[in-house]
């Protein structure tokens, strides 16, 4: 196998010595490591998720243990992996996607205090292009980090190190819309991002905050891959060095990215299909959106779909106006038939056909890579 920069931490099954799943077109394949965690926890097995295993290893283990339940569960596990990934030949031993290499790291690998039921972080790195910048991606409600393969792979291909972070995301921001608490959105964002337990709507402690989970993951990656210099994204006091980081997010994650931009001086903020903090009780955007922030407005970008079926496009636009990246009389620039640099605008919109308009901003449409490059790199 060529020098990919990463040694395998994703557990795969193959009839040859494979290490990485062909994940860009198969999200389920990359979740295989989560199945192994469940197996280890429920059946006291000890497969090491930092290693790659050959199919014969599992077959031998089943024969050795000779338990009916074990045999059934392991066969189901193998079937799930093979169906998810496709044929044996589709599970690769070398770079299946050009020069990008992707891995999964379970939060429990970064700190034993994390629950093994958590979803795995998704990390992508290019073997040749290195901007010495990190894209921290924050997904939407109920999503898994590896649901955002398209945008993650693209960012890595143009030189970003990429972390799609696993975090507590089971309370949608939009569920707070009818709250009579004028600070409901503010407290919600603060607790999820930093773990300050001030919200009545979520329960996120310091350890499980986006901030701490990101620090723990970077420290882990530095310890396993010191030659990749992950430590450059931390300060000497082991805080996040935000000036080297692009924080991007989708839906709920768009609001978290924006909130972090308020509280930290970030390289740039990118919001996909958000932020969604509009109060129908007060008929206005959340208070925090108009607060002064540390990240310049010129460094904040948004991409919306004008027919978003999950969150009102009109509410999203009002939020961007309150934030300040749109004037009161301005609308996001429709870019379906335009080319970069999109009139150097910070707020863009789409009207492309998609099975989910809300998810289309981070989907697989051929128009998106050029738009993403603009959002990630424009000056």
CATH number of the domain residue 125 falls in: 3.40.50.1820
Q: Is residue 243 part of a domain?
A: yes
Determine contact, residues 90/22, Cβ cutoff 8 Å.
Answer: yes
Mean pLDDT (whole number) for 17-39: 39
The C-alpha atoms of residue 318 and residue 274 are separated, in whole angstroms, by 11
Same domain as 158, residue 218? yes
Higher local confidence (pLDDT), 53 or 89: 53
Domain boundary at 90, 118, 139, which? 90
**How much is the mean pLDDT over the chain?**
82
SS3 225: coil
Reported confidence tier of residue 67, pLDDT bands at 50, 70, 90: very low
Structure tokens of 10?
A: 């994703």
- Over residues 175-194, the pLDDT tens digits come to 999 999 999 999 999 999 99
The C-alpha atoms of residue 39 and residue 47 are separated, in whole angstroms, by 9
SS3 122: strand
Structure tokens of 28?
A: 């389920």
The confidence score (pLDDT) of residue 379 equals 87
Mean pLDDT (whole number) for 350-369: 96
Mean pLDDT (whole number) for 280-299: 98
- Whether the pLDDT of residue 201 is over 80: the answer is yes
Same domain as 259, residue 116? yes
Q: What is the bridge-based pairing of β-strands 134-138 and 161-165? A: parallel
The lowest-confidence range among 45-59, 121-135, 154-168, 288-302 is 45-59
Q: Is residue 16 part of a domain?
A: no
Range of the domain at 31: 23-90
SS3 77: helix
The lowest-confidence range among 4-18, 53-67, 162-176 is 4-18
Same domain as 76, residue 105? no
Same domain as 71, residue 105? no
The confidence score (pLDDT) of residue 341 equals 97
Same domain as 67, residue 127? no
Same domain as 284, residue 223? yes
Q: Is residue 54 part of a domain?
A: yes
Domain boundary at 38, 66, 90, which? 90
The C-alpha atoms of residue 161 and residue 61 are separated, in whole angstroms, by 37
Q: Whose CA is closest to 291, among 328, 253, 261, 335?
A: 261
The confidence score (pLDDT) of residue 46 equals 52
Same domain as 253, residue 117? yes
Q: Is residue 203 part of a domain?
A: yes
Same domain as 131, residue 185? yes
Domain boundary at 71, 90, 109, which? 90
How many domains is the chain built from?
2
Same domain as 236, residue 137? yes
SS3 63: helix
SS3 212: helix
SS3 330: coil
Q: Is residue 14 part of a domain?
A: no
- Whether the pLDDT of residue 216 is over 70: the answer is yes
- Whether the pLDDT of residue 30 is over 50: the answer is no
Backbone phi, psi, residue 235, to 5°: -80, 170
Same domain as 307, residue 348? yes
Reported confidence tier of residue 106, pLDDT bands at 50, 70, 90: very high
The C-alpha atoms of residue 109 and residue 91 are separated, in whole angstroms, by 24
- Over residues 261-277, the pLDDT tens digits come to 999 999 999 999 999 99
Same domain as 172, residue 56? no
Of the chain, the percentage scoring pLDDT greater than 90 comes to: 73
- Residue 40, classified by CB atoms within 10 Å of its CB into exposed (0-12), middle (13-18) or buried (19+), is middle
The lowest-confidence range among 59-73, 126-140, 352-366 is 59-73
The lowest-confidence range among 14-18, 109-113, 116-120, 310-314 is 14-18
Determine contact, residues 280/178, Cβ cutoff 8 Å.
Answer: yes
Q: Is residue 369 part of a domain?
A: yes
The confidence score (pLDDT) of residue 336 equals 97
The confidence score (pLDDT) of residue 87 equals 31
The confidence score (pLDDT) of residue 98 equals 53
Same domain as 129, residue 82? no
């Amino acid at each position: 196998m060529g020098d990919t920069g990463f040694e395998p931490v994703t557990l795969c099954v193959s009839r040859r010595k494979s290490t990485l799943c062909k994940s860009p077109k198969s999200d389920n394949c990359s979740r295989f490591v989560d199945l192994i965690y469940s197996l280890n926890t429920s059946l006291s097995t000890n497969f090491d998720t930092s290693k790659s295993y050959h199919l014969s290893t599992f077959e031998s283990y089943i024969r050795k243990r000779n338990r009916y339940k074990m045999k059934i569960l392991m066969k189901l596990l193998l079937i799930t992996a093979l169906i998810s990934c496709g044929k044996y030949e589709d599970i690769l031993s070398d770079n299946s996607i050009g020069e990008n290499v992707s891995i999964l790291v379970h939060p429990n690998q970064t700190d034993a205090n994390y629950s093994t039921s958590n979803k795995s972080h998704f990390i992508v790195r290019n073997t040749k292009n290195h901007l010495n910048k990190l894209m921290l991606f924050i997904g939407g409600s109920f999503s898994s980090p590896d649901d955002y393969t398209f945008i993650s792979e693209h960012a890595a291909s143009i030189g970003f190190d990429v972390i799609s972070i696993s975090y507590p995301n089971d309370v949608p921001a939009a569920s707070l819309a009818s709250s009579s608490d004028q600070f409901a959105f503010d407290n919600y964002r603060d607790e999820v991002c930093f773990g300050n337990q001030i919200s009545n709507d979520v329960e996120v402690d310091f350890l499980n905050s986006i901030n701490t989970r990101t620090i723990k993951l970077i420290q882990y990656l530095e310890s396993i891959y010191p030659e990749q210099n992950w430590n450059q994204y931390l300060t000497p006091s082991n805080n996040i060095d935000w000036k080297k980081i692009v924080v991007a997010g989708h839906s709920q994650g768009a609001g978290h990215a924006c909130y972090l931009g308020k509280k930290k001086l970030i390289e740039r903020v990118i919001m996909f299909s958000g932020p969604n903090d509009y109060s129908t009780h007060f008929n206005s955007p959340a208070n925090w959106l108009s607060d002064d922030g540390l990240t310049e407005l010129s460094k904040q970008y948004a991409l919306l779909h004008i027919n978003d079926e999950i969150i009102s496009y009109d509410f999203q636009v009002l939020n961007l106006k309150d934030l300040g990246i749109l004037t009161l009389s301005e609308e996001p620039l429709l870019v379906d038939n335009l080319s970069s640099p999109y009139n150097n605008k910070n707020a863009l919109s789409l009207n492309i056909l998609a099975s989910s308009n809300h998810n289309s901003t981070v989907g697989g449409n051929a128009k998106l890579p050029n738009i993403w490059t603009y959002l990630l790199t424009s000056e």
